[in-house]
Structure 1
Amino acid sequence: MTLRGNLRAGSVLAVLVGLLVAGCSQGGPATPAPTPDVQTAAPTAATGSLDDTRWEASQLGGSPVLEGSTVTAAFGADGSLAGSGGCNRYRTTYTTADTTIAIEGAVASTMMACDQAVMAQEAAFFTVLADARSFAVTAEELTLSDGAGAALVVFDVQPQEVAGTWVVTGYHDGDSAVVSTVQGSTPTVEFAEDGTVSGTGGCNQLAGSFEVDGNAIKIGPLASTMMSCEEPAGVMEQESALVVALESAATYSIEGDHLEFRRADGVMAATLTRG
Structure 2
Amino acid sequence: MMKKTYFSLMAALVALAVALAACTPTGGEPESIAAPTEQPAAETVEGATDLEKTDEMSENGLQGVRWVLVSYLNAAGETVEALADREATAEFGADGRVAGNGSCNNYFAGYTVDGANLTISQAGSTMMACTDEGVMEQEAAFLAALQAAATFTNDGETLQIANAEGATVLTFRAVAPTALVGTNWTATMVNNNREAVSGLIADTTITAVFTEDGKLNGSAGCNNYMTSYTLDGGNITILPAATTRKMCPEPAGVMEQETAFVTMLSQAATYTISGNVLELRTAEGALIVSFMAE
- Contact kept, 8 Å, 2:92 with 2:99, in 1: the verdict is yes
Displacement of 1:129:
0.6
Alignment counterpart, residue 91 of structure 2, candidates 62, 74, 78: 74
- Summarize the Cα distance change of 1:274–1:92 in structure 2 as closer, same or farther, 3 Å threshold: closer
What runs of 5+ residues in structure 2 fail to find an aligned partner?
1-56, 74-78
1-structure distance, mates of 2:65, 2:285: 18
Does residue 268 (structure 1) correspond to residue 284 (structure 2)? The answer is no
CA displacement, residues 107-155 of structure 1 (integer Å, 9 cap, x when unaligned): 5453524444444433331221121013345665543232355443233
Does residue 57 (structure 1) correspond to residue 69 (structure 2)? The answer is yes
- Contact kept, 8 Å, 1:197 with 1:210, in 2: the verdict is yes
1-structure distance, mates of 2:201, 2:128: 25
What runs of 5+ residues in structure 1 fail to find an aligned partner?
1-44
- Contact kept, 8 Å, 1:93 with 1:105, in 2: the verdict is yes
Does residue 199 (structure 1) correspond to residue 218 (structure 2)? The answer is yes
Residue 206 of structure 1 aligns to a residue whose secondary structure is: strand
- Contact kept, 8 Å, 2:105 with 2:127, in 1: the verdict is yes
CA displacement, residues 61-88 of structure 1 (integer Å, 9 cap, x when unaligned): 46542322211123345544332222x2
1-structure distance, mates of 2:209, 2:248: 22
CA RMSD of aligned residues (A): 3.1
The corresponding residue for 2:127 is 110
TM-score (norm 1): 0.68
Matched residue count: 230
- Summarize the Cα distance change of 1:125–1:179 in structure 2 as closer, same or farther, 3 Å threshold: closer
- Contact kept, 8 Å, 1:72 with 1:255, in 2: the verdict is no
- Contact kept, 8 Å, 2:64 with 2:93, in 1: the verdict is yes
2-structure distance, mates of 1:67, 1:101: 27
Q: What is the correspondence of 1:41-52 to structure 2 with a 5 Å cutoff?
A: 46-48=58-60, 50=62
Alignment counterpart, residue 143 of structure 1, candidates 160, 168, 179: 160
The corresponding residue for 2:112 is 96
Does residue 246 (structure 1) correspond to residue 246 (structure 2)? The answer is no
The corresponding residue for 1:84 is 101
1-structure distance, mates of 2:198, 2:136: 27
The sequence identity of aligned pairs, in percent, is 36
Residue 207 of structure 1 aligns to a residue whose secondary structure is: strand
- Summarize the Cα distance change of 1:158–1:263 in structure 2 as closer, same or farther, 3 Å threshold: farther
Q: Larger RCO: Structure 1 or Structure 2 (Cα < 8 Å, ≥ 6 residues apart)?
A: 1
- Summarize the Cα distance change of 1:90–1:180 in structure 2 as closer, same or farther, 3 Å threshold: closer
For 1:58, give the aligned amino acid.
Answer: V
Alignment counterpart, residue 235 of structure 1, candidates 232, 254, 259: 254
- Contact kept, 8 Å, 2:178 with 2:276, in 1: the verdict is no
When structure 1 is superposed on structure 2, of 66-75 and 99-108 the one drifting more is: 99-108
For 2:67, give the aligned amino acid.
Answer: W
- Contact kept, 8 Å, 1:205 with 1:225, in 2: the verdict is yes
Displacement of 1:90:
4.2
CA displacement, residues 195-236 of structure 1 (integer Å, 9 cap, x when unaligned): 432111122211123344554333344322233333333333
Alignment counterpart, residue 189 of structure 2, candidates 161, 170, 188: 170
